[in-house]
Amino acid sequence: MNVKIKSLILLGITIFSFYFLRVDFESIALLDALMVIALTAISDNIRVYWNYSNRLVSNTVGFVYAFILGPQYILISSLVILLSKTKHQEISRKLYRTLVFSTSYSLAALISYRFSPPLSIFLFLTISKIINTIIVEGRKNFDFSVFIYEYLYFLSLLPFSYLYLQFGFSPFKYLIISVNLLILMLFYLIIKTRNDKNDEILRTQRIRKLNDVIVNLSKVIRQLSLKVSSEKILDQIAEIMQKNMGYAYVLISLFNYQNNKVERIAHRGLKEEMFEKIKGQEVPISEVLKFMDEKYNYKDTYFIPHADKISETYTYQPRDEVSIDYLEDNQNLWDPDDLLLLALRDERNNIIGYISLDSPENNLRPSKEELNILSVFAQLVSLALEHSQKFMEIRDQAERDSLTGLFNHSKLFSDLEDFEKNEEKICAVFIDLDDFKDINDKYGHKFGDDVLVKFSQLILNTVRNKDRVYRYGGDEFVILFTGISTEIGIKIIERLYDVLKVFQPKISFSAGLSTCDEVINNYKEIVEIADRKMYLSKNQGKGNLMV
């Protein structure tokens, strides 16, 4: 229900209750009024929290005394609530809070005044508690354990409230009713002790959890950083962020500065079709960098509250650590529009990507304690990426022919082992340039190298993206086709012959084609068979393909 509508309903009930309570302002005694004001103001400012986020009603100390004195004093207590200083100073929120209490206590008083003390006081405390629970929590958020505990606190005010009635006009009656304030203080201390214990448990759990994250991350770095690609490392990182750090949604992206695009690499928590949709969206790097403003920055993290409604004036300041006090503060609750980014950097401190985290399992915005850990985490991930990229560069250099940039001889046999292990259907073409020695002798080796480079590029432009091209050695090349028939492989080579007709200088090649179906022992034989067929082609007149 809308808060404005709810406030109007509560206002109507309050007016109704006080109308039938027949408030008599002339009977107000100054000393009693001051006592009511003092007890209500003091008790209302003693904040008692149960189960982290539930603030218990503490101002009952002032209202039960007001009930004993008469309805006009209940109205005074209600005005004290309206004027009291609260965390939220908006008039609408202060008014709603006042109406919640004035409705609860005035309606309870209207029913309870029909009975004589001490039963009336018991009924007032019981009914006001029930009404307050209905208004504030409702059926959806009702917590029976909280209700019972708070109700027991309400009932603990009965003894000295009864005793107050026995003292009549004695000046000691003010001292007696003030004991209820001491009961509230004792109640506050008991809850605070319990909360301190929970704080310690919470901190221990978080430290254990963060230690697990660091241990798992160190394993990933140790096992993966020098063995696999960046993509596989980031996939492992996404798993850690979801499983150990407790974020329901993790999205890891890297920046492609050459194309000015954000590339989505790994995720957890998203449906595959959603991830594919996100991958297909072209997002310029500048769109992400605008969120990485200094005012949102804490070390290597950026927390942007309400990211879709960025305000130039609103920034969130995280607490040093998580405690019960932190948990009960609504400002610290995670909002669906919040954005938490971990910056990934290269060795020159340039941002090369980021990890986006959403929906933490504790439903809390990060504390400085957590941001510190996440910053270290981001730095370790960046280091792992750096090592992985260096490894990939070294491995790439070891697998590439330095002249043509094609895969080399050792990479060919490594790939053949992988294809055999995965039982993939492949077909190989062994190519040897005809009379290439004559080109070297006539034009020199520098010119010959240029021809090899151009011919290599010609092959790459002719085959499919998923096909692999290798420089076997000298003027010999191998092409591995995957997932195609022999007929299609022949057509691709024929297309290469056609393109070569306009190639300068005029060159030709002999080739042999074989498939994995022809091998007897292992896939390495496929190259040997294609090589033999190439020589048969060359012996039959050169410039032909032997199948």
Kind of pairing between the strands at 297-298 and 261-268:
unpaired
Tens digits of per-residue pLDDT, 518-534? 887 888 899 999 999 99
Query: Which one, of 162, 88, 172, lies nearest residue 124 by Cα?
Result: 162
Q: Which residues contact 489 (CB under 8 A, 6 or more apart)?
A: 427, 429, 481, 513
Q: Check if the beta carbon of residue 526 is closer than 8 Å to that of residue 516.
A: yes
Tens digits of per-residue pLDDT, 488-522? 989 999 999 998 888 888 889 999 999 888 887 88
Structural element, H or E, at residue 515: strand 509-515
CATH code: domain 225-395 is 3.30.450.40
Q: Check if the beta carbon of residue 352 is closer than 8 Å to that of residue 346.
A: yes
For the chain, how far is it from start to end, CA to CA, in angstroms? 79
| Helical spans, DSSP H, in 167-229 | 172-224
Q: Check if the beta carbon of residue 230 is closer than 8 Å to that of residue 389.
A: yes
Return the CATH fold of 3-196: Arp2/3 complex 21 kDa subunit ARPC3 (1.10.1760)
The DSSP code sequence of 464-481 is -TTSEEEEEETTEEEEEE
Tens digits of per-residue pLDDT, 113-166? 999 988 999 999 999 999 999 998 877 778 887 888 889 999 999 999 999 988
Per-10-residue mean pLDDT for the chain, 547 residues long? 84 94 91 94 86 76 95 95 78 89 95 92 95 85 82 92 84 88 90 80 75 73 62 86 89 86 92 91 88 88 75 45 47 84 86 92 84 87 76 67 88 90 91 91 91 92 91 94 89 90 87 87 90 90 81
Domain 409-546 has CATH 3.30.1240.10: no
CATH 1.10.1760 maps onto the chain at 3-196
pLDDT for 220: 67
pLDDT for 319: 53
Handedness of CA 301, 306, 312, 313 (dihedral sign): negative
Phi, psi of 264 (to 5 degrees): -80, 125
> What span, in angstroms and rounded, lies between the C-alpha atoms of 238 and 242?
6
**Helix crossing, 3-21 with 71-83: angle to 10°?**
150
pLDDT for 327: 43
Kind of pairing between the strands at 509-515 and 426-433:
antiparallel
Tens digits of per-residue pLDDT, 275-317? 999 998 988 888 888 888 888 898 899 998 877 544 333 344 5
Structure tokens given for 133: 């629970």
Query: Which one, of 45, 35, 52, lies nearest residue 322 by Cα?
Result: 52
pLDDT for 316: 46
CATH 3.30.70.270 maps onto the chain at 409-546
> What average pLDDT is seen over the chain?
85
pLDDT for 192: 81
Query: Which one, of 447, 443, 436, lies nearest residue 510 by Cα?
Result: 436
Characterise 485 by phi-psi region: left (phi > 0), alpha (psi -120 to 50), beta (else). beta
> What span, in angstroms and rounded, lies between the C-alpha atoms of 534 and 528?
10
Strand partners, 481: 427
